[in-house]
Amino acid sequence: MLQIQTIRDNQEDIILALGKRNIDAQPLIEKVLLLDENRRAAQTRLDNVLAESNKISKEIGVLYKTGKADEANSLKEQTAKLKEESKQLSEDLNKAGEELQTLLYQLPNAPHTSVKKGSSEEDNEEIFSEGEVPKLEEASLPHWELAKKYDIIDFELGVKIAGAGFPVYKGKGARLQRALIAYFLDKNTEAGYTEIQVPHLVNELSGYGTGQLPDKEGQMYHVTADDLYLIPTAEVPVTNIFRDVIVNESDFPITYTGYTPCFRREAGSYGAHVRGLNRLHQFDKVEIVRVEHPTKSYDALDGMVEHVKNILRELKLPYRILRLCGGDLGFTAALTFDFEVFSTAQDRWLEISSVSNFETYQANRLKLRFKDENGKNQLAHTLNGSSLALPRVLAGILENYQTADGIKIPEVLVPYCGFDMID
């Protein structure tokens, strides 16, 4: 979340920045600042009461030692009143702190200066594109029809077992899925990321730590009996490794990669654009997560973008990169670049990766800090990116690599698959 000191010092700038998200943040900011002012006043009063109570207690001890019991007993009545007042002030202070926290949770991150104002994905900026879109035969099929033709993904069986959005991968389809996961992990570890396996469920504190709660509560599967949440992305458990942690400045950069299944309710999703693998309730994804020194995080973001570019070049998929506008920017992100692969058979772009810098927004929730050269605790910066999300990458491969004889396997994946054609 945004730091209260930052809001106090940069009120107008924060309001203008959040305006890029089409949010009039002024009323909420004013409530935050008023509540913070009252909270600080209550803290000052509590400090004064405790100091006065401590001073009187010392005086009482001296009076008893000098035989002035009556005066000591009289002062004890004052300390009793002060203790009662301090108790009430502590309760008021805790209540104000909780209310302030609730308000701060409602404020999204302030967009980076390079983010443009916009209303929706239509206002995102294309900043890069690469690769030629293959020319397919007239009889070319979308991936859901190819999946049925070659019996590699069974969407109907998934409906029987769980419901729509839970596909069953079969035969070469399952092997291709496994190959992609292994390939992505290998590329990430070769780039210096440490592979890690994490739980697929998280507690409420973890959800709040990375910002999925309370913002995305309705999109997460909640195991109510145990008060746990199925993860929507590996970002949540991996980043929460550093909740309440103070790292050494010499530890930077901290880099992790992990594969997990991801679970999203995607409530309200319907229509042709969600057919097949386009949007699922359960899907596989390989994630990269970084914890960085604030002065190095944007260089790290550029490096993450180049890393994903290199993977897509090896897969030889046509893709483009978008810088998200304020209206399409995720709640916790300061700057996000989306990668989209072109689905030739569907004649549309499909998002396959988001690479984001959250600056101190998540770190403030997580209390993720480092000691600077002066020994003072400072908030770190966190970043993450899909490297990559599998469903739409797989859809792009099936559609763009289809031929009259079958579906070719990208050359870089053949050693992982053990075959070069789905036929």
* Whole-number Å distance between alpha carbons of 262 and 46: 47
Annotated binding residues for ATP: 264-266, 351-354
Token pair of 136, please?
Answer: 């397919």
Q: What are the C-alpha distances in Å from 413 to residues 184, 213, 287, 345?
A: 10, 37, 19, 22
The alpha carbon of residue 405 and the mean position of all alpha carbons in its chain are separated, in whole angstroms, by 42
3-state helix/strand/coil string of 341-409: EEECCCCEEEEEEEEEEEECHHHHHHCCEEECCCCCEEECEEEEEEEEEHHHHHHHHHHHCEECCEEEC
Unique residue bearing structure tokens 């009461």: 49
Answer yes or no: are the C-beta atoms of 293 and 380 closer than 8 Å: yes
Annotated binding residues for L-serine: 233, 264, 287, 384
* Secondary structure letter of residue 141 according to DSSP: -
* Whole-number Å distance between alpha carbons of 227 and 8: 35
Answer yes or no: are the C-beta atoms of 219 and 207 closer than 8 Å: no
Annotated binding residues: 233, 264-266, 287, 351-354, 384
Answer left, alpha or beta for residue 282, where phi above 0 means left and psi between -120 and 50 means alpha: beta
Answer yes or no: are the C-beta atoms of 309 and 386 closer than 8 Å: no
Answer yes or no: are the C-beta atoms of 382 and 239 closer than 8 Å: yes
| End-to-end alpha carbon distance in the chain | 51
* Whole-number Å distance between alpha carbons of 271 and 292: 40
**Sign (positive or negative) of CA dihedral 297, 299, 304, 305:** positive
The alpha carbon of residue 135 and the mean position of all alpha carbons in its chain are separated, in whole angstroms, by 37
Phi and psi at 391, nearest 5°, equal: -55, -50
